[in-house]
């Protein structure tokens, strides 16, 4: 059931240190989803409640991704044209780390849907086994971000780019057996 939101005429900004803490996804097959988020994206498994849910993280955080089958065991993705999650985005600290993530995704045979240079970031898009959209990206240096003539940051920019060009960041680096 949708919640009605009434405008109060007042607006106060969220605290600037607020961040998206985690994403909680409904999945149809817990083991398959754990394998995807662990093996393809590289998250560490923190805890599994067999047949029900799993929590995964990066860097020892309690969890960045929660996977849950409570209302979705054996379910199907929503059909096109319906509301829901467009994608979840995972921000990498550098272009080199994005390149490593991209190489791992490709090595696992995941189909890349598109790649975009947004001016403020470079991003690669694909889907998890349940059709949930995934974006992996890195933020470009702030001094290179594009602004419109009126001084507004242009976050709507989207130019295609070849994600294979990311691999140049890894020249001379062992691919760990995960060559694309």
Closest CA to 90 of 134, 57, 128: 134
Q: How high is the pLDDT of residue 4?
A: 81
Contacts of 111 (CB under 8 A, 6+ apart): 126, 127
What tens-digit pLDDT sequence spans the chain (180 residues)? 677 877 777 888 988 999 888 999 999 999 999 999 999 999 999 999 999 999 999 999 999 999 999 999 999 988 888 888 899 999 999 999 999 999 999 999 999 999 999 999 999 999 999 999 999 999 999 999 999 999 999 999 999 999 999 999 999 887 655 544
What is the model's pLDDT at position 178? 53
Structure tokens at 136: 């992996």
CATH T-level assignment (fold) for domain 86-174 = 2,3-Dihydroxybiphenyl 1,2-Dioxygenase; domain 1 (3.10.180)
Q: Do domains 22-73 and 86-174 have the same CATH topology?
A: yes
List the domain boundaries for the chain: 22-73, 86-174
Residue 180 is predicted with a pLDDT of 44
- pLDDT for 177 equals 54
Strand ranges inside the chain, DSSP E? 23-26, 44-49, 53-57, 65-68, 88-92, 114-117, 121-127, 133-139, 159-160
CATH superfamily of 22-73: 2,3-Dihydroxybiphenyl 1,2-Dioxygenase, domain 1 (3.10.180.10)
Residue-wise pLDDT tens digits, 75-105: 998 888 888 889 999 999 999 999 999 999 9
Confidence at residue 172, expressed as pLDDT on a 0 to 100 scale: 82
Q: What is the pTM of this model?
A: 0.89
């Amino acid at each position: 059931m949708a919640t009605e939101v009434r405008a109060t005429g007042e607006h106060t900004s969220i605290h600037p240190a607020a961040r998206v803490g985690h994403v909680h996804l409904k999945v149809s097959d817990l083991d398959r989803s754990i394998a995807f988020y662990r093996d393809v994206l590289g998250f560490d498994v923190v805890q599994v409640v067999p047949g029900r849910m799993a929590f995964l993280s990066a860097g020892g955080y309690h969890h960045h991704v929660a996977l849950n089958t409570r209302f979705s065991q054996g379910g199907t993705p929503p059909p096109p044209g319906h509301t829901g999650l467009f994608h979840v985005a995972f921000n990498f600290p550098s272009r080199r780390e994005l390149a490593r993530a991209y190489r791992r995704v490709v090595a696992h045979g995941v189909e890349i849907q598109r790649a975009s240079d947004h001016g403020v970031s470079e991003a690669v898009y694909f889907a998890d086994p349940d059709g949930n959209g995934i974006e992996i990206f890195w933020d470009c240096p702030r001094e290179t971000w594009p602004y419109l003539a009126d001084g507004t940051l242009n976050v709507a920019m989207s130019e295609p780019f070849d994600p294979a060009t990311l691999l140049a960041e890894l020249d001379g680096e062992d691919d760990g057996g995960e060559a694309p």
